Structure 1
Amino acid sequence: MSFSLAEREDTIIALATPQGVGAIAVIRLSGKNAIKIVNEVFYGKDLEKQPSHTIHFGTIRDGEKIIDEVLVSLFVTPKSFTKENVVEISTHGSSYIINQVIRLFVKKGVRPAKPGEFTQRAFLNGQFDLAQAEAVADLIHADSEASHSAALNQMRGGFSSEIQELRTQLIHFASMIELELDFTEEDVEFASRDDLRALVERLLRVVEELILSFDLGNVIKNGVPTVIAGKPNAGKSTLLNALLNEEKAIVSDIAGTTRDFIEDEINIGGVIFRFIDTAGLRETTDTIEAIGVSRTQEKMKTASLILYLFDLGDTDLVEINRDINKLENLGVPFVKVANKIDKANSLLINELKEKHPDTIFISAGNKDNLEGLKAKILELVNLDKFKTGNTVVTNIRHYDSLTKTRESLLDVLGGLDNEVTNDFLAMDIRRSLHFLGEITGEITTDDLLANIFSKFCIGK
């Protein structure tokens, strides 16, 4: 999805609130002629004579026919989201009224907006850079405190300001290196190689820190895949139901009831966790159950967190130790969860407290100490970096560009070590600038913009 120059001059329209019947609906128009066109069908004040950021009551009419009583909000260029004239019409939420109003403006030459076209216009008109524009979509889809905070920080320029600062410093050295190419015969040095090395090493530290933050950013944005694993009848389904506070999984005394995955999301401390209840881990001759056990083992390898659940009334310390050794070999963070505390003997509890003091004791059936379990889960998902307000990368496109930037910067260092000629050194610096520019939008293609904004909703 790309826009021609002629299309960018159009006045566009879209419903900015969700589809369906509601108390009110907001219809948004943007373009040079937006206020003029709305004024032609609005009966109230003369909108073309009103200041920006004002709201006016009146009616929208198609000839003599009144469609609805409305409130019209004016945002006069450049003081609007798109930096164009923007009008937002608040109507009653009837789908009939919405359709009538939009059809009226389409008859008057207004074009229905494409997905993300309002935000794309804001980017093209210099309201914000590409990383900030992408954060608008993340903010709309944020479903937890953590994802909301990350998107808001990025939208307000937290991520972009770091990238811009890095790029500005590198541009200066690039220009000095390329200036030297014009004076090759004079053997002059405008850019100190020691200063360039110090800058590149400093940039690498920042870029690598941003790259490392992506694991956390991905967790914040998409949720933490958390597998509940253990023997059949350890209480995995009961625990999932207790955490969800609903009967999502089938609970039975018959071992091996869960044959496949049951998955749902839970918000814990402002972070989304995607809990996966799996088939019980055991040797089995049942073909279907065996497939479930195999899939469980695969899920455990790709999880970000494992809840190892065991039944205190049906497990001994030798078996627990054996399972813990297997989990440690997986290399995935895990929580030791001792279930059915009400059925345990005191000897086993004391042994666990001595050998595995980080064990969490619960009763999933009675919902005992679930808050303690949630606190432990949050502790293992290290959000300290995020909570201090540091920039966190949440976008796979940014991660990819940062990775390529790192490779190019390493090539610059390699060139300095090998004392390559200035033209090769300048080439590697330009590559680094190119990949940094991809993030904020200094370097774009129509295909890139089309891919990004096509994922937005129509009214944004």
Structure 2
Amino acid sequence: MIPHDSIVALATPSGAGAIAVIRISGEDAIVIGNSVFRSIKNKSLLQQKTHTLHLGHIIDDTKTLDEVLVSIFKGPNSYTGENTIEISCHGSTYIQQQIIQLLLRKGCRMANAGEFTLRAFLNGKLDLSQAEAVADLISSDNEASHQIAMQQMRGGFSNEIAKLREELLNFASLIELELDFAEEDVEFADRTQFHELLNRIEFVLKRLIDSFAVGNVIKNGIPVAIVGEPNVGKSTLLNALLNEERAIVSEIAGTTRDTIEDELVIGGIGFRFIDTAGIRETEDVVESIGIRKTFEKIEQAQVVVFLFDSSEFKVSGLKLKVELEKIKNQFPLKPLVIIGNKADKLEENEIQNLKSEIPEILLISAKEKLGVEDLKNQLLSFVNTGALRNNETIVTNTRHYDSLLKALDEIQKVKYGLETNLSSDLMALDIKEALYQFGMITGQVTNDELLGNIFANFCIGK
């Protein structure tokens, strides 16, 4: 059931600022707004056109609260599909609260988290995947996650799903029609065309499912663990990457006793760098805990950067190779970047020897910030950003991913049934389940619990 009461909330971040925006949406939004607004030209908001701005004052009985600018959006031509007004007032927290309390007394209620976007969904202004993209857009903190959220909010993902669902629904109708004429043994659905459709749907679903591996790390940031023995320059490298003194640097081995994390955007992609405690044999209890955490962080990381002191390779080269093999064997599927630090101390023959011993090595000097850009480029190469450049649909939402997996499973059942001449009534059951999973993504199939879980993650005022 679509609610019709009027809701109010602060649409801008809480706290003091130059300007704050208070949003009201509902059947009586303009009536309530007009009851507290006095135009400088004696206009009534009730008589004004949609998408217009009006200067005046918010009045509480005889008390003037603030000079404001009121925007009018009449339904259905508004974000929520309802009558909506937005009051732009001065950003004092006192003024914000006074205006909101006045509106509550006039008949509004405080909006729940995400209720404006929920109403947009219920009124058909957005489908469910587009509504979820609104939350992703608000939380995006790099170019790639912003681009994905914008593409989904504009309906790229939902349009693709809706098209597949419509085509499958057409064939499902023909299959159902065959069941109505089962005694006459007729076929309304062309089996060859149906098989081609199933192949096409299977191909698209697999592509969307595969895109989740990229989309998930782009949305949440790609965790990179920086590991190696103590005092090889891990903290110096982190500081060089971030271009700030984030980690403590000293000549004392074991200075970093816990993991330090920070984020950096490279080429529009977010990376979360984790500076870990040095790996070595130690009897220090605190340092041992840090080393144990290091291996936990390697487990969680998408990429591992192994750092060693290249100037010490003559002495510790054999031990280094053993450590590298240990990490490769323990984490065979993780990309491993092998970095020789302090390369500014090496002679040319030592550099050539290192490259022959470890062909994939990247030589840098974290202290002098030499080779740091090469490292950034190598990290960026691990991310498949081709889909972003081609504006292809990328799945970032775990709920969508789960429904896509279930839909693919049902489509493969239908395909198998078609190839083995399974009865139409059994195939119809699998088709209905596939349609159900498509509907779960776009919101054509919903329940109160699902909507509650999704919109509870939104901020108040959106």
The residue type equivalent to 1:235 in the other structure is G
Shift of 1:352: 2.9
TM-score when scaled to structure 1? 0.96
Q: Distance in 1 between matches of 2:191 and 2:320?
A: 59
Tell me the residue number matched to 1:417. Answer: 419
The question of 1:171 aligning with 2:173 is answered no
Tell me the residue number matched to 1:377. Answer: 379
Shift of 1:319: 4.1
Q: Distance in 2 between matches of 1:298 and 1:114?
A: 38
Q: What SS does the corresponding residue of 1:313 show, helix, strand or coil? A: helix
Tell me the residue number matched to 1:15. Answer: 10
Q: What SS does the corresponding residue of 1:365 show, helix, strand or coil? A: coil
Shift of 1:28: 0.3
Moved more, 436-445 or 243-252: 243-252
1:83-102 mapped onto 2 (5 Å cutoff): 83-102=81-100
Shift of 1:355: 4.8
1:70-89 mapped onto 2 (5 Å cutoff): 70-89=68-87
1:4-83 mapped onto 2 (5 Å cutoff): 5=2, 8-44=3-39, 45-83=43-81
Contact kept in structure 2, 1:150 and 1:392, CA below 8 Å:
yes
Shift of 1:71: 0.3
Shift of 1:419: 2.1
Q: Distance in 1 between matches of 2:91 and 2:372?
A: 42
Q: Distance in 2 between matches of 1:14 and 1:459?
A: 5
Tell me the residue number matched to 2:394. Answer: 392
Tell me the residue number matched to 1:112. Answer: 110
Structure 2 unaligned regions, length at least 5: none
Contact kept in structure 2, 1:91 and 1:98, CA below 8 Å:
yes
Q: What SS does the corresponding residue of 2:89 show, helix, strand or coil? A: strand
Q: Distance in 1 between matches of 2:414 and 2:407?
A: 11
Shift of 1:424: 0.8
Among candidates 325, 334, 352, match of residue 354 of structure 2:
352
Q: Deviations over 1:366-406 (max 9, x none)?
A: 22222221111111222122222111001000001001111
Q: Distance in 2 between matches of 1:430 and 1:281?
A: 55
Shift of 1:202: 1.2
Q: Distance in 2 between matches of 1:301 and 1:77?
A: 51
Contact kept in structure 2, 1:313 and 1:345, CA below 8 Å:
no
Q: Deviations over 1:350-369 (max 9, x none)?
A: 02334545432211112222
Q: Deviations over 1:61-115 (max 9, x none)?
A: 0111111111001111111100111100000111111111111111111111110
Q: What SS does the corresponding residue of 2:384 show, helix, strand or coil? A: coil
Cα root mean square deviation, aligned: 1.5
Contact kept in structure 2, 1:13 and 1:110, CA below 8 Å:
yes
The residue type equivalent to 1:126 in the other structure is G
Tell me the residue number matched to 2:137. Answer: 139
Q: Distance in 2 between matches of 1:410 and 1:420?
A: 13
Q: How many residues align?
A: 455
TM-score when scaled to structure 2? 0.95
The residue type equivalent to 1:75 in the other structure is F
The residue type equivalent to 1:174 in the other structure is A
Tell me the residue number matched to 1:250. Answer: 248
Tell me the residue number matched to 2:363. Answer: 361
Contact kept in structure 2, 1:301 and 1:332, CA below 8 Å:
no
Q: Distance in 2 between matches of 1:286 and 1:70?
A: 63
Moved more, 320-329 or 410-419: 320-329
Shift of 1:298: 3.0
Tell me the residue number matched to 1:295. Answer: 293
Q: What SS does the corresponding residue of 1:73 show, helix, strand or coil? A: strand
The residue type equivalent to 2:5 in the other structure is D
The question of 1:441 aligning with 2:451 is answered no
Shift of 1:320: 4.3
The question of 1:237 aligning with 2:235 is answered yes
Question: Percent sequence identity over matched residues?
Answer: 54
Tell me the residue number matched to 2:149. Answer: 151
Q: What SS does the corresponding residue of 2:312 show, helix, strand or coil? A: coil
Q: What SS does the corresponding residue of 1:206 show, helix, strand or coil? A: helix
Shift of 1:436: 0.8
Contact kept in structure 2, 1:341 and 1:361, CA below 8 Å:
yes
1:112-131 mapped onto 2 (5 Å cutoff): 112-131=110-129
Q: Distance in 2 between matches of 1:42 and 1:280?
A: 64
Q: Deviations over 1:264-289 (max 9, x none)?
A: 11111111111111121223333433
The residue type equivalent to 1:422 in the other structure is S
Structure 1 unaligned regions, length at least 5: none
Q: What SS does the corresponding residue of 1:26 show, helix, strand or coil? A: strand
